[in-house]
Each structure stands twice: as C-alpha cells, then as structure tokens.
Amino acid sequence: MTLKLPDTGAEVLADGRRMVPSAARNAGPILEALQGLGLKGRLLEIASGSGLHAAQMAGPLGLIWQPTDVEPANFASIRAWAATSAAAIQPPIRLDATEAGWAARLGVWDAVLLVNLLHLIPERAAATLLGELGAALAPGGTACLYGPFLREGLATSPGDAAFDASLRAQDAAIGYKDLAWVTGQLGK
C-alpha cells in the first residue's frame, strides 16, 4: 500500500536529487538541535529518504555520516545529495530497521538519527526498531529521534491531529506514537 502523504510527488532536480519540502523545512531546526548535543564520530541515519539531511548536516556537524534506507530506489538521490557536500558521507546501504537483529549486523555507532518514520510504521515494527537502538549505540552514544508524537494520547496541534487521522484512515496499524511509549521502548 502506498500512503498518501503531504510530500508525495517531490520534485526531482536535474542531477537526480529529490527535493522533499518537509525535509527542506525541518533540516535547519534538526541541525540546530543536533549541534547542541556535541556529537562526534560516526552517525547512522535510519531511513535517509532523499539524502537531503545528510548533505545539509554532515558537514556542519563534522560527522562521518552513514545514510541507510529500506528502498534502494532512494540511493540515487542520496548519492546525488552527497555529491553536493564535501562532508564525509558514506555510500548508502540498505537497512530495514524494523527487522530484529539489524543492530548486530551494522556494529556500533556514536549516534543514530531517525527522522519522520515512527508514525509511518506499525507499533510492532516501531518497537523492534527502538529496541535495537541500544545495541546500535557505542557506550555514551546518542539516539536522536525527530517526528510528530502524541503527548498523553493527544496531538499537539489541529494539523497533527488531522495528519494522524489521515494516516490511520489509510492504514489502521500506523499513526502517531505517544512520546511516553517511545521513550519507554528505548529503556527496554
């Protein structure tokens, strides 16, 4: 099933980069938050999508950036975005982070970044992904999660409530996860 999302039909630039409006909008705020964490070393990005975040964040953060995606069709855009950056962006690798055992296969990372995925996958898949994060992080490593969340079962804005309802109408198994549930999964 293909979900109808606000960014469906993103523009593809002449060099193969996909321009996803939501990724472009949230890159600055995410970068600012990450800069405040003092990250160093190697970062694993789960579900890199277009690759825009790697290109816009790896350099300013000074990280070795490993993009991943479950869809190899996204690799051309990830590589095209990486070519626009002088940063240490590694070639993309295929990763389905909803499969148990993925962390053991990829080794440990100083940081793991996950942007706008948890609301697009079922709770059971999200639990697997979140449960693997601890094994994917080096001692003292940082898990960085960005996306829309419920707070005590409620959306934080009318727009979020509408988007969550739209997702659930398309597939009852997906939708916003409650922040307390997400943080509880990280501690398991």
The pLDDT value recorded for residue 188 is: 73
Average pLDDT in the chain: 95
What DSSP character marks residue 87?
S
For residue 115, the cross-strand partners are 146
The pLDDT of residue 8 is 64
The confidence band for 9, taking pLDDT boundaries of 50, 70 and 90, is low
Please tell me whether residue 44 adopts helix, strand or coil conformation: strand
Q: Which two tokens stand for residue 68?
A: 């991943």
Alpha-carbon distance 96 to 118, whole Å? Answer: 13
Q: What six digits make up the tokens of 43?
A: 């970062």
pLDDT in tens, 103-113: 999 999 999 99
pLDDT of 161 > 80? The answer is yes
The whole-angstrom separation of Cα 86 and Cα 100 is 34
Does the pLDDT value for residue 91 go beyond 70? yes
Asked whether residue 148 carries a pLDDT value surpassing 80, the answer given is yes
Angle (CA) 119-123-127 rounded to 5° is 105
Can you tell me the distance from the alpha carbon of 17 to that of 22, in angstroms, rounded to the nearest whole number?
15
Interval 101-129 mean pLDDT: 97
**The two three-digit tokens of residue 80, written as one number:** 């095209």
Amino acid letter at 148? P
Across the range 131-142, mean pLDDT stands at 96
Residue reference for tokens 């697009």: 120
The conformation of residue 47, written as its DSSP 8-state character, comes to S
